[in-house]
Structure formats: structure tokens, C-alpha cells
């Protein structure tokens, strides 16, 4: 699995949270159609990735919520939050791992089939099942705010300029 590289503490609205920085994990994958729950039901659209094609990535990441940077095709690099896991809120009986990326940017249209270039840099928390959808929504909002702050720190922000993204633009 990805190597632990230290802890990052962020404070958002008076609440401190510490998460683990990991050795960056780089990968590219096509965006596939999901079940529509991220955007339609929760208000957080996600780019779904074909976990079956990403075994080497899944071998490096424990189940949980991560943050990092991403670009769609040859586009701009944006911050992102990514879920890797069984998606227990919606698919309790499912035996398929899900990889869903919520890009912290608004796009004018869907981009199914486009290549998503991803660098994962920190694990925010473990995967969890919540008592209600409202609880899940609150957790996602918190994940996003802590990710924005952590990814803006100098040691992580520089990864948005990594040559991996330049290669994707060529």
C-alpha cells in the first residue's frame, strides 16, 4: 500500500482534523457512468472510474476517502476528493469496489469516456456508513473543506504542477 509520509493538520471553522499524507499515487482512467447517486441524490457529482481496470491502484490504497489533484483529458488541474471502497451507504451487499472522484470545480457538461488523470496525496478518513443521508452529506462537506485547506499547503499544492499532468497535456 502507499507509504505514510507524515500528518497534516487543518482547522476549518474552529475544528481541527489531522490526516495522513501518503506517497503520491498516479494513474489515469476513463470516466464511466455510475448510478447517479453522487450528483443527483447527494449534490456532489462524481466521476466514476472502472475499478476493475485499476487493480494496481487499488492494491496501493486502503478503503477510504482521499484527496489530491486531477485533470480531465488535457484540461486544467483541479483539487479533488476521492472515495475508494464498497460504498456502504448505497451498496451494502455489493462486492464491487467503487472509485469515485469529486472534482472541486464545476464543469459545463458531463465528460463520460474522457481520460481522468489523478494524483492521490493524502487519506482524509476511513470509509464509513452513516445513520442518514444527511450525516453523509455533512461528512462529504467537511471532507471537501479539509481537503481544500490541506491541498493548498505548500508541500501538497506543488503536486498540481507535477510533470505527470504536463505529460497528460501533450
DSSP annotation of 149 reads H
Report in angstroms the alpha-carbon separations of 124 from 43, 74, 93, 103, 142: 20, 27, 25, 15, 10
- Within 8 A by CB and 6+ apart from 112, the residues are 31, 32, 33
Distances (CA, A) of 13 to 16, 35, 154: 8, 33, 21
What whole-number distance in Å separates Cα of residue 73 and Cα of residue 166?
11
Q: Is-contact 147 88, C-beta < 8 A? A: no
Residues annotated catalytic, as ranges: 100
Amino acid at each position: 500500500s502507499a507509504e505514510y509520509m507524515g500528518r497534516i493538520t487543518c482547522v476549518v471553522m474552529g475544528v481541527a482534523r489531522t490526516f495522513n499524507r501518503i506517497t503520491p499515487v498516479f494513474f489515469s482512467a476513463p470516466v464511466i457512468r455510475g448510478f447517479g447517486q453522487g450528483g443527483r441524490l447527494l449534490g456532489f457529482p462524481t466521476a466514476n472510474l472502472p475499478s476493475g481496470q485499476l487493480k494496481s491502484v487499488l492494491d496501493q490504497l486502503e478503503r477510504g476517502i482521499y484527496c489530491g489533484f486531477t485533470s480531465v483529458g488535457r484540461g486544467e488541474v483541479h483539487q479533488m476528493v476521492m472515495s475508494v471502497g464498497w460504498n456502504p451507504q448505497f451498496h451494502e451487499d455489493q462486492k464491487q469496489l467503487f472509485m469515485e472522484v469529486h472534482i472541486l470545480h464545476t464543469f459545463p457538461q458531463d465528460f463520460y469516456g474522457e481520460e481522468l488523470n489523478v494524483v492521490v496525496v493524502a487519506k482524509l478518513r476511513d470509509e464509513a456508513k452513516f445513520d442518514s443521508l444527511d450525516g453523509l452529506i455533512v461528512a462529504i462537506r467537511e471532507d471537501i473543506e479539509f481537503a481544500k485547506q490541506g491541498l493548498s499547503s505548500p508541500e501538497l499544492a506543488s503536486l498540481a504542477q507535477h510533470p505527470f499532468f504536463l505529460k497528460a497535456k501533450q
